[in-house]
Amino acid sequence: LTFIKRISYLLCLSILTVSIIQPIASEAAVRNIRVGLASNAKSLVVSSTSSYTISDRNGRKISVRGNLHLSASKNTTTVTINEKKFGLPLTLYGKGLMTFNKRKYRGNFKILRGSSGLTLINELGIENYLRGVLKMEINPAWPREAIKAQAVISRTYALKHLGKHSKEGFDLCALPHCQVYRGVNAEDPVCDKAIRETRGSVLTFQGKLALTPFHSDCGGATADVSTVWGGHLPYLKAVREPVQDASPYASWKAMIKTSDIQNALRKKGISIGTVTGIGVTQHDPYGRADQVRITGTGGSHLMSSHSFRMAIGSNKIRSTMFTISSSGTSGSYSSQTQKSHVNNSTPAPDLSFIDKKSDTLNSKEAKLMTVLVKQGFFNADQMIDMLLHPEKKKAYLVQALERKPISREVMPLTSTHMSGNEFIFTGKGWGHGVGMSQWGAKALAEKGWSEKRILDHYFPGTKLTRYY
């Protein structure tokens, strides 16, 4: 052997010796969490802020420094590092912080063979995991008791959902699907303090970890879980907020085109033709819209307003604490768009669009027909006759208008709004409304409420418990 080769051989040996005696850092299993940072990646580049050890499934170890490039081919079960083969899964650990995608992480990395690529997992203690989560969920400038309440909620969520991604080999993903986790880059001294002060604290109900959803702003009162995701939980009922918060989402307005609503519903498999009206059919005691009926030229569809909101877009219709009105020329039936009355008698609506010469209904006539049917303008025999002879609809419509004067008041159902070019949703708050309202918690903390009192308010009947 040449001198250089002999030196490198010795170096390699000493590295291997060092790595064998270095233990894998791990805490008690229940306090650890496996967070998926990448799933089924074609390739991965990982590193560490110092030298680190790679250990494979056979206990084979190597100590390395700098970037480790791994790429997956079909049925990859081994990877080559420094010309040596290592069997997946791999564990990467060291004294420094592990790095991936320019972000630093505490704890270890694990690399597994996923169903179609490589999966990168960050394994670390739950308290350290929370340090990479909390700032993504709440503003560190907010009052401490609100941040502590959020820490308890995030910890409870993590512990309750351990194994949510077990099919992929980890507990939670690092995305909004679970909880956004950004590792060391997201750590903040204020959040760290709130985590330390609530160490191990969780919310339980009847001795089990509670379900702890939260949202930005409930708009005055929270939502009952049954109206959003279904199911009944005694601690996820609608509760009114005792103080007014200063949320930037306190009121909002969304103008949604009728065609956008039609398209969004069609994507959900709901085909009711041209949308002609939307009405809230059920409210909760605090004014939240629980259920809506969408009427179209081809039928109507009843759905929870939460599903409706999700179908249209949760960033457009920010909450279900909304009322509906309509705009556009053909939307003039809506009580919301009534002009001020000149005298006490209700002016008749403009019916100039009725074309008595044609036998078929034009679109405005069809919309009016839908409303008249709903208002009970026709008896059962007439309805059956129209069903069997659609060509008679026009005659029935004209007849109905002549028989009974139509006022603006009687035409729409109280909260159904006829379609113009768009529907206007006027609402309060942002989010699904279940569990803790973050802006509400902030307002309560500013009033001097403790983290426990805030959590008792939003999750009544739960217990603040030390889990470990």
67 vs 166, beta carbon nearer Zn ion: 166
Contacts of 173 (CB under 8 A, 6+ apart): 35, 36, 39, 164, 165
- Do strands 78-81 and 98-100 pair parallel, antiparallel, or not at all (unpaired)? unpaired
173 vs 211, beta carbon nearer Zn ion: 173
CA distance 13 to 19: 10
Residues that bind Zn ion (CB under 5 A): 173, 177-178
15 vs 33, beta carbon nearer Zn ion: 33
| Spatial CA neighbour of 54 closest among 1, 15, 90, 83 | 90
211 vs 324, beta carbon nearer Zn ion: 211
CA distance 273 to 294: 11
DSSP run (H or E) holding 205:
strand 201-205
126 vs 397, beta carbon nearer Zn ion: 126
- Minimum Å distance from CB 177 to Zn ion? 4
6 vs 177, beta carbon nearer Zn ion: 177
Strand spans (E) along 57-105: 61-64, 68-71, 78-81, 84-87, 90-94, 98-100, 103-105
- Minimum Å distance from CB 165 to Zn ion? 6
35 vs 312, beta carbon nearer Zn ion: 35
- Minimum Å distance from CB 112 to Zn ion? 16
CA distance 21 to 145: 44
**DSSP code, position 4:** H
| Spatial CA neighbour of 62 closest among 87, 88, 89, 81 | 81
- Minimum Å distance from CB 38 to Zn ion? 13
- Minimum Å distance from CB 235 to Zn ion? 24
- Minimum Å distance from CB 133 to Zn ion? 13
User: What CA–CA distances, in Å, run from 220 to 321, 432, 439, 441, 445?
Assistant: 9, 13, 10, 12, 16
- Minimum Å distance from CB 161 to Zn ion? 8
88 vs 158, beta carbon nearer Zn ion: 158
- Minimum Å distance from CB 119 to Zn ion? 13
| Spatial CA neighbour of 135 closest among 196, 179, 198 | 179
- Minimum Å distance from CB 125 to Zn ion? 19
CA distance 275 to 259: 8
Interhelix angle 451-458/144-160, rounded to 10 degrees, is 60
Query: What are 53's strand-pairing partners?
Result: 63, 93
Instruction: Let me know: does 219 contact 321? Beta carbons within 8 Å.
Output: yes
161 vs 193, beta carbon nearer Zn ion: 161
